[in-house]
Every structure is written in C-alpha cells, then in structure tokens.
Structure 1
Amino acid sequence: MASTPTREVARRVFAREFNDASYTFKESDDDRAPVYVLLPTGQRANRVFLVGTLTETEDVGEDSEYWQGRVVDPNGDTFFMYAGQYQPDAASMLRELEPPAYVAVVGKPRTYETDEGEVNVSIRPESISKVDEATRDRWVVETAERTLDRVKRYKEADMEDPATDEYISMADEEYDQLSIENYRQSVVGALESLQDEQAEASAD
C-alpha cells in the first residue's frame, strides 16, 4: 500500500537566521522530492511558520499581479514573500491587507541568485492570515525556545563524531563563515523587544 505523503512540519525561525539559510538540497533524485533549505542552526526546513508585522505590500508584477510583502520580526529583520497566480489566496490577502498589520504566514522557502552572485531567500506563502498582538507574542516566545534548542544542539555536537546529526554537520560545512552566536542574539533581542513593548503598554 502506498504511503500517503505527509506535510512537512513548518519550522519557526527568526528572519535573521532564515535570510542566512542560502543552501538548498533534496534527499532524493525524484523530481517531486521536497526541496529543503538548511537552517544555519542545523535543521532542514521545507516549510516555515512566522508571525510578524506586515509593513509593506506591492504589486511588482509586469504582465500579471505578483505581490511582494514585507514582514518584520521583533528584531526589525525582514522576511520577504511573493505570491502570484499560483498562490491566489495569499495574493488576494496581500492585495487586501492594509499595513501595518500582524500576520501569520505559512509558506515554502525559496532561494534565488542575484546578478552579483548573492543568494536571496524568500517565502512562497501557502496561507496568510491577520492575527492579534497576543498571537504574535506567543510566536516570538515559542520561536525563541525552538531557536535556543537548535543553538544548544549545534554547540554540543562533536563534528568529528560520525554519529553527529547529519544536518548539523551539513550546516557546519556549508555555513562555516557564520557565527551561531548571531542566532542566540536574535532570541535575546526579540524577547527584550517584547518586554519593552509590554512595559510601555502597562505604563500607558
């Protein structure tokens, strides 16, 4: 009996780490095999889940509608997403939403190389929904926990040990110029910004 393909878990990640995730790979030669981006903290991601502030939308299409959305996380770092005729629900949300607004986005990472040879990372959204501040705050706390877990696993890994998690080894090889400490700092910055917002709200 053929097994039913299951949808990949949508990984929670802050924009700084997501934008550094420039390496993609497949785990089989099958044309329909999922494409993964490799997070620098050593986890593969075929889908991501983010919540942040939609700050800008723009139709950047030439012949048909092709919407760009910018979503900013608590650190001020930006996720870019693009939706066109093949993502009609997401495109219509980007057309209708009035920034600034808190949004939750589930989508697939996409990479493309610029003329200068740099790799840019964006999201092809499967769904976009407007959410409240409490939902955004919960996402920040849970994403902080997941990121710290990944950083801890990465730091404790022995790269010389053949039994080390393959994605951590891959990240060590592909992203040797990146400091894992950057992503711990993203966590600290995001949580501090939440505390500042809450302090301001209680002072009003």
Structure 2
Amino acid sequence: MKPQSAFEREPARRVFASELRETRYQFKDGDDEKSPTYVILPTGIRSNRIFIVGTLTEKQRQGDQNIYYRGRVVDPTGTFFIMAGSYQPEAMQQLARIEPPAFVAVVGKPNLYTTPDGACLVSVRVESIAVVDRETRDLWVLDTARETLDRLDAFGTTEDSRKAQEEYGTQPDHYRKIVYDALTQVQL
C-alpha cells in the first residue's frame, strides 16, 4: 500500500447499513497516532471513510458544554447511527440545519465501540452531510449494490477479503440477498 500524502484522502466506500452494522474488526495502519484507523467490511474491503445516502429520520442535540448531534439515517437495508460534534464543526452545523425527515448524503468515518457487556456498536462520525433528493438516493443504492457485488465477486482473492472471511465467516449469498432486497426499493 502506498503512503498517503498529507492532502490525499482515502476513498469513501459505499456500504449498506446492514453490512456496516455487522462490522466488528477495526485496526490502525501504522504505529504513530496519526496513522489511519480502518474497519474491514464483511464483504472484504478496508475502509476508513464511508459514503451513505438515506433518510434522516431523527436527530437530537445533546450536551451542554460539548454540544453534539446524533441522528439516524435509514437506507433500504437498515439504520446508520451518525454523530457530529465540535471536532467536525461544519458537519455539526450542517446537521443542525436539516429537519427530518429528509434524504441526506453523508461522508464520514466508521467508529466501533464495544460496550461493557461486549456488544459492538457502529456509528458514523460525520465529515459532511447534505440534503439530496430521492433520485440521488436511488442512484446511490444502484452504485452501492454494484460495488457490493464487485467486492463479493473478488471475495477470497484479496488480503482484506481473506481477513473478512476469518473475522466474520462471511457468507456471500447473505450479502447478495441484501443487495437484491435493496434494489427492490429503487424507483428509477
């Protein structure tokens, strides 16, 4: 893997909510504190940024001193939990202005949190969020379906997909069904 320049960003991977919700494996690529943190998605690709589109169904302002917003974004496969706070001031202001329900496009970083009882919670730390229309959401579903199927077609042939198989015991047919079910929600 080539080193990242200071201004080059990782690509934001398209992923359905149901796949992100099943993500459990996170690692740092490097030893210093600025090294990027990645997750391995169950369909076999590493990601430190994701691109999602769905319906913002609710948002809540929380905190007094350190204000932040939490929200739920629903795609055809399930729910993403998003948050934006003082470390992402532009994203926090963007989210504050959006009134649910609204179709939104979100770029952010996946975060895994393990609760004291061992449950793994997945959320997305918002880098940017914007209101979009239904057609944009449907196009995102088509693109995400294609990218998910491409990952499944390459499954087992890459280092990341072998790691996903080891960590998750991924059943490609399970994700193919998720893709099929998501495509039934598209109205193009």
Superposition TM-score, scaled by structure 2 size: 0.92
Retained in 2: the 8 A contact 1:140–1:190? yes
User: Match of 1:130?
Assistant: 131
- Residues 174, 50 of structure 1: alpha-carbon distance in 2 compared, 3 angstrom cutoff: same
2:25 and 2:176 map into 1 onto residues whose CA distance is 20
> Are 1:179 and 2:171 matched, yes or no?
yes
Residue number in structure 2 paired with 1:81: 82
Identical residues among aligned pairs (%): 51
Residue 186 of structure 2 is matched in structure 1 by 194
Larger Rg: 1
| Partner SS for 1:32 | coil
Question: C-alpha distance in 1, partners of 2:178/2:47?
Answer: 19
Listed one character per residue, the Cα deviations across residues 111-148 of structure 1 (whole Å, up to 9, x for unaligned) are 11112111111100100001111111110100000001
**Cα distance between partner residues in 2 of 1:65 and 1:78:** 23
**More displaced, 80-89 or 55-64?**
55-64
State the alpha-carbon separation in 1 of the partners of residues 88 and 183 from structure 2: 33
| Equivalent position of 1:98 in the other structure | 99
Cα distance change on mapping 1:64 and 1:30 into 2, 3 Å: closer
Q: Deviations over 1:11-38 (max 9, x none)?
A: 0000010111111012221221100010
RMSD: 1.6
In 1, Cα distance between equivalents of 2:75 and 2:149: 17
TM-score with structure 1 setting the length: 0.85
Specify the code of the residue in structure 1 equivalent to 2:61: D
Aligned counterpart, 2:24: 22
1:202 maps to what in 2?
Answer: none
In the alignment, structure 2 segments of 5+ residues that lack a partner are none
More helix by share: 1
The 8 Å contact of residues 66 and 82 in structure 1, kept in 2 or not, is answered as yes
- Give 1:174's aligned amino acid: E
The aligned length equals 185
Q: Which segments of structure 1 move beyond 2 Å, counting only runs of 4 or more?
A: 2-5, 60-64, 178-182
Instruction: List aligned pairs for 1:4-153, cutoff 5 A.
Output: 4-5=5-6, 6-75=8-77, 77-153=78-154
Is the partner of 2:32 in helix, strand or coil?
A: coil
Please list the CA deviations of residues 50-97 of structure 1 after superposition, one character each: whole Å capped at 9, or x if unmatched: 11100000123254322101000023x000011111111121222221
Q: Which runs of 5+ in 1 are unaligned?
A: 158-163, 199-204
Q: Is the 8 A contact 1:56 1:70 kept in 2?
A: yes
1:20 maps to amino acid: E
Q: Which amino acid aligns with 1:67?
A: Y
CA contact (8 A) 1:40 1:180 kept: no
Question: Which residue type is aligned with residue 153 of structure 2?
Answer: K
Q: Which amino acid aligns with 2:107?
A: V
Q: CA distance change for structure 1 residues 99 and 171 in 2, over 3 Å: closer, same or farther?
A: same
